């Protein structure tokens, strides 16, 4: 079976490139994949890499452009769970 590695990297600064997320996928035709990751605040340049573990030359790198990342809010999972329970009652 052919496996693909889906990788998102932060290539904002060539001296400090960072791997943000990686996931292995076995794709027959098409597949939706979620890749959660966090970014620091500011302008970030992202790149998507699609790497095949079976075929030489099948790899792709796709420029995702520049993303403006705003400061996020801290969340507490325990609080959100309680509010969901209260809504169901």
Interval 40-51: pLDDT, tens: 888 999 999 999
**Which spans in the chain are helix H?**
77-88
CATH architecture of 4-88: Sandwich (2.60)
* 26 neighbors 58 (Cβ within 8 angstroms): no
The strand order across the sheet containing 18-25 reads 18-25, 4-10, 42-52, 60-69
**Tokens of residue 47, six digits:** 């790149």
Domain ranges of the chain: 4-88
Structure confidence by residue, pLDDT tens digits, 21-60: 999 998 777 778 888 888 888 899 999 999 999 999 999 9
């Amino acid at each position: 079976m052919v496996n693909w590695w889906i990788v998102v990297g932060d290539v904002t600064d060539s001296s400090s490139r960072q791997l943000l997320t990686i996931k292995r996928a076995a794709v027959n035709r098409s597949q939706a994949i979620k890749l959660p990751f966090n970014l620091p605040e500011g302008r970030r340049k992202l790149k998507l890499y699609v790497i095949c573990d079976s075929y030489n030359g099948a790899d792709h790198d796709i420029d995702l452009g520049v993303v403006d990342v705003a400061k996020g809010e801290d969340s507490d999972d325990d609080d959100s769970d309680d509010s969901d329970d209260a809504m169901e009652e």
